[in-house]
Chains A and B, each alone.
Chain A
Amino acid sequence: MARVAQFDPHPVQGAATQSPLHHRAASKPSGDSRVTLVELAFLDHLVLRGEPQGLAASVQAVLGLELPVEPQRLVIGETGSLQWLSPDEWLLIVAAGEGFRLQRELREALGDSHFSIVDVSGGQTLLELGGERAIDVLMKSTVYDVDPRAFPIGKGVTSVFAKATAVIRRVGEERWELVVRRSFADYCLRWLLDAGEEYGIDYRPAKVAATTPRAAVADTETVS
C-alpha cells in the first residue's frame, strides 16, 4: 500500500459541527409552497481520481457501486452516490462519518495503483431542491439545459449557477441536488430563496441524519 498519511477528520463523537448555512433560519411561504429546499448537511464528500479501468473493480467491491465512466452520469446506491465529474474524477457522497472508513478500505483495495482520494467534506455542502416548480428555479439559475428531455434522472453536471458554479444532479422526477462550495453556500442559498419566492419556496435548514455520530451546533438565527 502506498505511503499516505491518513487521519480521521472526526475522531471524537459528538464534537461540534457547523454547516456553512448555520446562520440561516427556516422560511415558509405565506401561501402555497411549490418548491422545497433543504440542506443535506454533514455528509462525507470524497473526490476519487485515477484511471477508470484501475478504479472500477475496487469501487465495486468496496462501495457496491458501479463506477460511472459515461460522462455526466450519477449512480446512486445504498452506500451513497457516485458521480462522474471528469474522465478521471468522481464525486462520492456517503453518510456522515462513513468517509474515513470507506477511504481506508478503498486505499487498501487499490494498493499500489495510481490514484488519489481526497476528503472535501469541509469544502462543500449539498442542497436538495424539490417540488413541481423546482425546475423553474433552476432554469433561472443555470445556463445548462435542465429540460427533462436533456436532463434525465441520474444525470449530473458541473455548470454555471447564479454567478457562481455548482454541481447540479437530478435524483428524482421533481428532485434535484446541488453541490455548492462552502464559501458560496450563503450566496447560492440567498439566490435560491429569491428565485423561488414567486413559487412559494419552503426552506428548512440542515437536517442532521439520524445516523450521524456528530452533534450539530444549534445557533440558528434569522438573517434578514
Chain B
Amino acid sequence: MFHIYCPYCAEYREEEEFHPKGQAHIARPADPTASSDDAWGDYLFFRDNPRGVHHELWVHAVGCRKFFNITRDTRSYAILETYRMGEQPGVTAETATLAERDIERRTSDTATIQGVPS
C-alpha cells in the first residue's frame, strides 16, 4: 500500500481510493469528420508505452471523484508529481532524465525519485 497526493483533496490518500485511467493529454481531433482514418484510429486506440516517464490520467474514485494527472516512472513505479486537469506536467522525460543523471552523479546508491506535490 502506498499513498497518492490528490491535487483536489490536497492531501495524500490511500492508493485503494484511486483508479488509473490510461494515458493523459490525448487531444480529440478538432474536426473529427475531417480527420483521416489513421489519425482517428490513433486517437481512439493507440497509446504510448514508454520505458520511463509517463503522464497518466487517474481518478480519485472513492473520494472527491475528480480526474487528475500523474507523472509516473514506469520502471520504478515512482510517482514524480500529480497535477490538476488542464495543467501541464512539471516533470517530463527530458527534465527527469537530467535530474536522474544528476542524482546518479551525486550518489552511488540506487536512487529513487520521490513524488512531490505541486
Cross-interface CB contact of B17 among A72, A87, A89, A143, cutoff 8 Å: A143
What are 17 A-B interface contacts by the 8 Å CB criterion?
A72-B9, A72-B11, A85-B64, A86-B64, A86-B66, A87-B66, A143-B1, A143-B16, A144-B13, A144-B14, A157-B9, A157-B63, A159-B17, A159-B62, A160-B16, A160-B62, A165-B62
A50 CB, nearest partner CB in chain B, Å: 15
A77 CB, nearest partner CB in chain B, Å: 23
A103 CB, nearest partner CB in chain B, Å: 22
Interface of B is mostly: loop
Closest B residue to A85 by beta carbon equals: B64
Closest B residue to A144 by beta carbon equals: B14
List the interface of chain A (C-beta within 8 A of B): 71-72, 85-87, 89, 143-144, 157-160, 165
- CB atoms of B16 and A71 under 8 A apart: no
- CB atoms of B14 and A143 under 8 A apart: yes
A144 to B11, CA, bound (A): 11
Cross-interface CB contact of A158 among B1, B14, B64, cutoff 8 Å: B64
| Chain B residues within an 8 Å CB radius of A143 | 1, 14, 16-17
Answer whether residue B10 sits at the interface, using C-beta atoms and an 8 A cutoff: yes
Interface of A is mostly: strand
- CB atoms of A159 and B63 under 8 A apart: yes
Answer whether residue B8 sits at the interface, using C-beta atoms and an 8 A cutoff: yes
- CB atoms of B64 and A87 under 8 A apart: yes
| Chain A residues within an 8 Å CB radius of B63 | 157-159
Which residues of chain B in 51-82 are interfacial with respect to chain A, using CB atoms and an 8 Å cutoff? Answer: 62-66
| Chain B residues within an 8 Å CB radius of A165 | 62
A43 CB, nearest partner CB in chain B, Å: 23
A87 to B63, CA, bound (A): 11
- CB atoms of A71 and B8 under 8 A apart: yes
B16 CB, nearest partner CB in chain A, Å: 5
Which residues of chain B in 10-38 are interfacial with respect to chain A, using CB atoms and an 8 Å cutoff? Answer: 10-11, 13-14, 16-17
